[in-house]
């Protein structure tokens, strides 16, 4: 399977150099120890644009290219879940123009990629209070989720209007409602019950969190789910983040000794 991935890595000029490096890193990757769930905070789009004297929206647009490459790579590696932070509950505080650009990019991404993602058997899923999104992105998202809901390949979780504290608060409310209604006894509440009331119900927790752009924060992302996740941080800005960086992250991940609090 890794050989088929190598065969699909194409390029020329500078990319030839990448291709060689990618093959080298792939050779060090153990197919049997790949993570099941990869989470990414796509950070640094604004800085990438500012460094080039471009409007921030151009950074987000360039960031979509990185997302495309990560989706293809995870799908080819047969990773089961890829969860990306695309728009947080706090991102509404950004200037209206930037929020609109992000929403437009989401619609564009879903419309342009849907057929290919469907062919690749990718299942598109959303985590967050998506009903509060504007009509066009919400409709595009629903179409994409409906069309791909039977696919059994990579599950692409797009975190949209997502906040970890909101997610946990909503779970608590729902559990409290069930207890008040006699549907659930308070003694039965355990970690499994809480996990089953999160947006990620039924999914395993992320094995690795990739955070580019040199930030050392959790930024209200998957607060419950990241309890024992391995962090992989990189100074590379998201629009410059390429397959080679993800492959390096996976090789490093495979060297970690995961103890989950044990020995």
Which residues here bind ligand FPP, judged by CB under 6 A? 42-47, 60, 63-64, 67, 86, 91, 102, 105-106, 109, 158, 213
How far is Cα 68 from Cα 122, in angstroms, rounded to an integer? 12
Backbone dihedral angles phi then psi of residue 33, each to the nearest 5 degrees: -120, 30
In Å, the largest CA–CA distance within the chain is 66
Q: What is the DSSP string of 35-68?
A: -SEEEEE---HHHHHHHTT--HHHHHHHHHHHHH
How far is Cα 168 from Cα 164, in angstroms, rounded to an integer? 6
Q: Distance between terminal CA atoms of the chain?
A: 33
Nearer of residues 30 and 111 to ligand FPP, judged by Cβ? 111
| DSSP letter assigned to residue 122 | P
Nearest distance, CB of residue 220 and ligand FPP, angstroms: 12
Nearest distance, CB of residue 131 and ligand FPP, angstroms: 17
Nearer of residues 45 and 76 to ligand FPP, judged by Cβ? 45
**Whether 111 contacts 187, CB under 8 Å:** no
Please write down the HEC assignment for all residues of 139-160.
Answer: HHHHHHHHHHCCCCCCEEEEEE
Nearer of residues 57 and 206 to ligand FPP, judged by Cβ? 57
Nearest distance, CB of residue 165 and ligand FPP, angstroms: 17
Residue nearest to ligand FPP (CB): 46
What six digits make up the tokens of 209?
């969190």
Nearest distance, CB of residue 42 and ligand FPP, angstroms: 4
Nearer of residues 140 and 175 to ligand FPP, judged by Cβ? 140
Q: Which residues are catalytic?
A: 43, 91
Nearest distance, CB of residue 205 and ligand FPP, angstroms: 22
Nearer of residues 209 and 213 to ligand FPP, judged by Cβ? 213
């Amino acid at each position: 399977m890794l050989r088929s991935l190598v065969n699909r890595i194409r390029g020329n000029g500078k990319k030839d150099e990448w291709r060689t490096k990618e093959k080298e890193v792939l050779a060090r990757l153990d197919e049997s120890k790949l993570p099941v769930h990869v989470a990414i905070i796509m950070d640094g789009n604004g800085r990438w644009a500012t460094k080039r004297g471009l409007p921030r929206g151009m950074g987000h647009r360039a960031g979509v290219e990185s997302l495309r490459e990560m989706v293809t790579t995870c799908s080819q590696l047969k990773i089961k879940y890829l969860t990306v932070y695309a728009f947080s509950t706090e991102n509404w505080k950004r200037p209206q123009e930037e929020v609109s650009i992000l929403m437009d990019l989401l619609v564009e991404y879903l419309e342009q990629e849907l057929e290919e993602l469907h062919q690749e058997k990718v299942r598109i899923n959303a985590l967050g209070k998506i009903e509060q999104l504007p009509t066009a992105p919400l409709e595009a998202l629903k179409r994409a989720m409906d069309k791909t809901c039977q696919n059994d390949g990579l599950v692409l979780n797009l975190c949209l209007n997502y906040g970890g504290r909101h997610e946990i608060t909503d779970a608590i409310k729902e559990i409290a409602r069930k207890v008040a209604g006699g549907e659930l006894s308070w003694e039965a509440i355990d970690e499994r019950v809480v996990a089953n009331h999160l947006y990620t119900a039924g999914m395993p927790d992320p094995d690795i969190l990739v955070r580019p752009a040199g930030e050392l924060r959790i930024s209200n992302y998957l607060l419950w789910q990241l309890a024992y996740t391995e962090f992989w941080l990189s100074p590379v800005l998201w629009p410059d983040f390429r397959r080679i960086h993800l492959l390096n992250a996976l090789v490093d991940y495979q060297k970690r000794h995961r103890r989950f609090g044990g020995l």
